[in-house]
């Protein structure tokens, strides 16, 4: 009896954490077939490259779980980088960090308010907010890069403990906090409930508007953190940076097992999705494959993942219909 039970548990784990299984498989495959893949310098580079996308994916995950989407993330990164760079020249590093967090979160509040209180779809609202954030960045910087001269702030993008970046540790802590909230707190259940069925959540007493406002604010907040780390690594603020970052975060969330229709997914899967793409990027770089293929690999992986997710959802639907007929 123990063997079938163990088999069922293993099958259930694989279904829930498919992206983690894929990540482990790819890591082992690349480690055995590609020279220097497990070199400490390469692993450190993978972690550095994963941090900014990881923070964006964390915020995007919360939005997607509620059935929404945030297309303004790349522009939020650019705006944060300029707000921080300009503020730092006048007020210093700590005040600049606060200004960057407040500016992005305020725009996230506006986005959430529009999504929650109007009938406009999130796609349109965040598309408009993308233009607003990018315009603010261009205006503040006069469409020019703004250099960073503060040595303390630069450490945010380069400091390491051993071969592990401090920014990666900050990402892990943030992911654990979000995981705890979603898994063990009431508000986490509310976030999933809104994505599963907004009308049912409303009838159950969930303040749907407040939940939507919260997730869009958190998305922008995490964009601000990612934007500051990105700025510290570049040692300058750029009003034209961050393009396609929202695409990468959406891809990581979808590959991580979240459903674009909402109500499904977990933080572990999202972080695994981020690392899957970075491992593939590292493989392409180490093997000398044309970097333009990176986009093709990402696109193919997204299509395959969404197709599998759609087939799985269709299978569930057919199963429920058969069950209803038998009753």
Q: What mean pLDDT comes out for the span 8-25?
A: 74
The residue among 6 and 93 whose pLDDT is bigger is 93
Q: Is the pLDDT of residue 326 over 70?
A: no
Q: Is the pLDDT of residue 320 over 60?
A: no
CATH number of the domain that 297 lies in? 1.10.3470
pLDDT tens for 248-277 read 899 899 888 888 888 888 999 999 999 998
β-pairing, 236-237 with 146-147? antiparallel
pLDDT on residue 318 = 44
CB burial class (10 A; 0-12, 13-18, 19+) of residue 171? buried
pLDDT tens for 153-162 read 988 888 998 8
**Domain ranges, residue 44:** 37-308
pTM exceeding the 0.75 threshold for the entire prediction = yes
- 20 assigned to some structural domain: no
- 318 assigned to some structural domain: no
Q: What mean pLDDT comes out for the span 78-107?
A: 94
- 83 assigned to some structural domain: yes
Confidence of residue 296 (pLDDT cuts 50, 70, 90): confident
pLDDT tens for 116-173 read 999 899 999 999 999 999 999 999 999 899 999 888 898 888 899 888 999 999 999 9
Confidence of residue 317 (pLDDT cuts 50, 70, 90): very low
Phi-psi region of 263 (alpha: psi -120 to 50; beta: other; left: phi over 0): left
- Taking all residues of the chain, what is their mean pLDDT, rounded to a whole number? 87
Q: Is the pLDDT of residue 310 over 70?
A: no
Percent of the chain past pLDDT 90, that is, above it, reads 63
Percent of the chain past pLDDT 70, that is, above it, reads 88
Q: Distance between CA 259 and CA 231 in Å, rounded?
A: 31
- 19 assigned to some structural domain: no
β-pairing, 160-161 with 164-165? antiparallel
- 77 assigned to some structural domain: yes
- 30 assigned to some structural domain: no
Which one, of 77, 86, 82, lies nearest residue 59 by Cα?
77
- 94 assigned to some structural domain: yes
Q: Give how far the C-alpha of residue 20 lies from the chain's centroid of Cα atoms, to the nearest Å.
A: 16
Confidence of residue 304 (pLDDT cuts 50, 70, 90): confident
pLDDT on residue 165 = 94
pLDDT tens for 46-87 read 999 999 999 999 999 999 999 999 999 999 999 999 999 999
Total number of domains in the chain: 1
pLDDT tens for 171-199 read 999 999 999 999 999 999 999 999 999 99
pLDDT on residue 260 = 86
Tell me the backbone φ, ψ of residue 119, rounded to 5 degrees. -95, 5
- 321 assigned to some structural domain: no
Which one, of 199, 188, 175, 154, lies nearest residue 272 by Cα?
175
């Amino acid at each position: 009896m123990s063997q079938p039970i163990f088999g069922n548990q293993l099958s259930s784990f694989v279904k829930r954490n498919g992206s983690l299984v894929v990540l482990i498989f790819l890591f082992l495959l690349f480690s055995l077939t590609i020279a220097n893949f497990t070199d400490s310098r390469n692993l450190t580079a993978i972690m550095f490259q994963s941090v900014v996308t990881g923070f964006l994916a964390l915020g995007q995950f919360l939005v997607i779980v509620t059935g929404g989407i945030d297309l303004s993330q790349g522009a939020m990164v650019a705006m944060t980088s300029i707000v921080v760079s300009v503020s730092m020249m006048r007020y210093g590093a700590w005040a600049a960090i606060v200004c960057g967090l407040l500016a992005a979160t305020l725009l996230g509040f506006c986005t959430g308010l529009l999504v929650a209180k109007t009938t406009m779809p999130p796609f349109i609202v965040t598309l408009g907010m993308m233009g607003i954030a990018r315009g603010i960045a261009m205006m503040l910087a006069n469409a020019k890069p703004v250099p960073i001269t503060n040595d303390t702030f630069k450490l945010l993008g380069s400091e390491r403990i051993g071969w592990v970046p401090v920014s990666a540790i900050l990402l892990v802590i943030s992911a654990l906090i979000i995981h705890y909230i979603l898994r063990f707190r009431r508000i986490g259940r509310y976030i999933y409930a809104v994505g599963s069925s907004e009308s049912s959540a409303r009838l159950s007493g969930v303040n749907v508007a407040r939940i939507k406002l919260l997730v869009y604010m958190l998305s922008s907040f995490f964009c601000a953190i990612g934007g500051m780390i990105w700025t510290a690594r570049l040692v300058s603020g750029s009003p034209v940076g961050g393009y396609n970052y929202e695409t990468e975060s959406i891809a990581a969330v979808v590959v991580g097992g979240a459903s674009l229709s909402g109500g499904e997914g977990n933080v572990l899967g999202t972080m695994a999705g981020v690392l899957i793409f970075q491992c593939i990027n590292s493989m392409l770089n180490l093997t000398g494959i044309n970097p333009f293929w990176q986009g093709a690999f990402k696109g193919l992986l997204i299509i395959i993942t969404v197709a599998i997710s759609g087939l799985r959802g269709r299978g569930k639907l057919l199963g429920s219909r058969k069950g209803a007929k038998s009753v």
